Amino acid sequence: MLLFSDDERLLEKLSQLGNQLERLDKTVNWTSFRPALNRIFGNKEKNPAKGGRPPYDYLMMFKILLLARLYNLSDEAMEYQLLDRLSFRRFVGCDDQRVPDAKTIWLYRERLTKSGKEQELFDTFYLTLEEEGLLAHKGQIVDATFVEAPKQRNTRKENEQIKEGTEPEGWNSAKRSQKDTDARWTKKGGQDYFGYKNHVCVDSKSKLIKNFEVTAANVHDSNVLAELCDTHEPVFDDSAYVGKSVPEGCKHYTARRAYRNTPLTETDKKFNRRLSRIRCRVEHVFGFIENTMKGSTFRGIGFKRAKTNVTLTNLMYNICRFEQIKRLNLNTWA
């Protein structure tokens, strides 16, 4: 059995090697989330007369949910890793005798989803980014990425009924609870996708996510353009957004598209090359989510849970990007 001093030596060694979680923990003011967490989960004081174990700390559970998104872990895998890894327990603030099980983790996420207030957590950290002067407000890049959900094995008739907004005949309550009737199929580049979309608006200088929308996968990227953008900032996007309006006061820079019998001119190509140098920064965001965060996926069922999943993903990305900017002193645009 490891002694306490052995644990301390192991953690010290991890720190010397460069522990990402330790850097995040030291850089972020986690207590700034407590007011929002208390509004979402309510008063956590337990009546001593009722007995039982005291509830888990809201901030600890919130950090567990963020860890699960950072490493794309299921609730069962998250419980295992908390028991197995000292660095995880140090980050969330618990010991091996007080690790929440997979069901408890699921229940806290479910409470967050049912509250409908997950956006408050994203907005809380957005205020921190504003106060730190990390949002340049000199341009915004808009794009979308798929959030794949477990594929449904429905009959053609069942899919037609789902699209019409009616429940397929013969589904009992048990089967209904396992069916995602909000997610949709779509095709892009010859590949089929099932699930949802994460539409983001990214600050063109800092690569921080300023705003986002969640839709079913079959909703065209351009349909939420106006809702994503801030006013009085240039908007940079690809040719999928041609002809779509942006908020008043925004200059709209859209990649130029070739049409049949109307190829791009040299001026168009030059414009697209210049635009791509700006637009490529949003691909860095999606690249971090897909590679470092192990993918933009969703294991649950239903739009509301998918929205919570995407909110935590985008928030965790901003937290990691915030730590990177502070550590490497990248805010040269300030």
Residue range 193-211, pLDDT digits in tens:
999 999 999 999 999 999 9
User: How far apart, in whole angstroms, are the C-alpha atoms of residue 221 and residue 79?
Assistant: 36
pLDDT of residue 3: 46
pLDDT surpassing 80 at residue 8: no
For residues 218-245, average pLDDT: 92
Rounded to 5 degrees, φ, ψ at 170 are 90, 0
Question: How many other C-beta atoms can be found within 10 angstroms of the C-beta atom of residue 248?
Answer: 8
pLDDT of residue 51: 55
Share of the chain above pLDDT 90, in %: 69
pLDDT-derived band at 1 (thresholds 50, 70, 90) equals very low
pLDDT surpassing 50 at residue 215: yes
Which residue is listed with tokens 């899919």? 159
User: How far apart, in whole angstroms, are the C-alpha atoms of residue 129 and residue 124?
Assistant: 9
Domain ranges for the chain, please list them: 4-115, 120-328
pLDDT of residue 324: 94
Question: 34-41 and 102-115 are packed helices; what angle lies between their axes, rounded to 10 degrees?
Answer: 90
Give the 3-state secondary structure of residue 100.
Answer: coil
pLDDT surpassing 90 at residue 148: yes
pLDDT of residue 54: 74
For residues 121-129, average pLDDT: 97
pLDDT-derived band at 319 (thresholds 50, 70, 90) equals very high
Report for 48-57, 163-172, 312-321: range of highest mean pLDDT: 312-321
pLDDT-derived band at 46 (thresholds 50, 70, 90) equals low
pLDDT of residue 156: 83
pLDDT surpassing 90 at residue 228: yes
User: How far apart, in whole angstroms, are the C-alpha atoms of residue 28 and residue 62?
Assistant: 14
